[in-house]
Amino acid sequence: MPDFKILLVDDEPDLLELVRYNLIRDGYTVFTAANGEQALKVAAEVRPHLVVLDVRMPVLDGIETCKRLRDNRDTADLPVIMLTALSQEIDEVKGLGAGADDYIAKPVSYRKLEARIKSLLRRAYPEVEQEAVLRREGIEIDREKYLVRRTVQGEEQKLHLPKKQFELLYALASKPGVVQSREELLDEVWGEDVYVTPRTVDVHVRKIRDTIGEHYIETVKGVGYRFAE
């Protein structure tokens, strides 16, 4: 993960600090601002790779801030995640033409926010390879070639997976041992507005297991899936 700079903008200090702490722990460089005006200033200065923007703020609200970011040539393509207080507010905000790349309703768990951030970063900076090859017990997952190398009885096999299956496997293998819920996986692999049944994940997991074998992905009933350690 090559040192992405993230700008957090929210007027609630508690929330800001909490998310900041977690993002730093996960290897991001974090900048913060308490309102839209500050945000524009910081954005121009540090040139972040992504902005998380609260809709409700004093001085300059999220919608207006997002528009101004878009108007400025330097920040026009900056990926923006908009946080709204109510889920129904999302449609209103979209209607006002803020033009954010993703919308999330508060309250949101950190895990969900991080999944969306990862997903958006991957979409926005495809040329920046976050760890091209994951090496795990008896298996290698090569993101550049969408290829899985597996050694079976001293013989190397190359397996090709379709895009969704590959990305799902990659998401699981990037956190070995950690159980991820279907919703988290949808957020991370499918990205923004997903109108997809969580059960879809099951089907993809099954197909992955069909090709690479049963024992890499473990089911945790009632919780989700995990990559075996």
Partner DNA sequence: ACCAATCGTCACGCGCCCTTGAAAAATGAA
Partner DNA sequence: TTCATTTTTCAAGGGCGCGTGACGATTGGT
Binding residues for DNA (CB under 7 A): 160, 162-165, 190, 195-197, 199-200, 202-207, 209, 219-224
From residue 131, alpha-carbon distances to 3, 44, 75 in Å are 12, 28, 26
> Does residue 60 bind its own copies (CB under 8 A)?
no
Closest distance to DNA from the beta carbon of 158 (Å)? 14
**Closest by CA position to 42, among listed 197, 34, 195, 63:** 34
CB of 126 to DNA, least distance (A): 15
Pairing mode of beta strands 147-152, 155-160 = antiparallel
> 224 - beta bridge partners?
220
Q: How far is the CB of 195 from its own copies (least distance, A)?
A: 19
Q: How far from 200 is each of 3, 14, 227, CA to CA, in Å?
A: 32, 36, 18
Indicate whether 99 belongs to the interface with its own copies (CB under 8 A).
no
Q: Which is nearer to DNA, 150 or 164 (CB)?
A: 164
95 binds its own copies (CB under 8 A): no
Q: 94 to each of 2, 62, 69, 175, how far by Cα in Å?
A: 31, 12, 16, 33
Residue with smaller CB distance to its own copies, 145 or 215: 145
List the structure tokens of 8: 């957090």
204 binds, among its own copies, DNA, none (CB under 5 to 8 A by kind): DNA
Does 194 sit near its own copies (CB under 8 A)? no
For its own copies, give the closer residue by CB, 129 or 193: 129
Residue 197 partner contact from its own copies, DNA, none using kind-dependent CB cut-offs of 5 to 8 Å: DNA
Q: According to CB under 8 A, which one of 26, 45, 77, 91 is a site residue for its own copies?
A: 77
Is 163 near its own copies (CB under 8 A)? yes
Longest Cα–Cα distance in the chain: 65
Token pair 């920040």: residue: 75
- Amino acid letter, residue 165: Q
Return d(Cα 34, Cα 59) in angstroms, integer.
Answer: 9
Is residue 129 a contact residue for its own copies (CB under 8 A)?
Answer: yes
CA atoms within 13 A on the CB side of 139: 20
Residues at the contact surface with its own copies, assessed by CB under 8 A: 2, 14-15, 18-19, 49, 56, 73, 76-77, 85, 107-111, 113, 124-129, 144-147, 160, 162-163, 177-179, 220-223, 226, 229
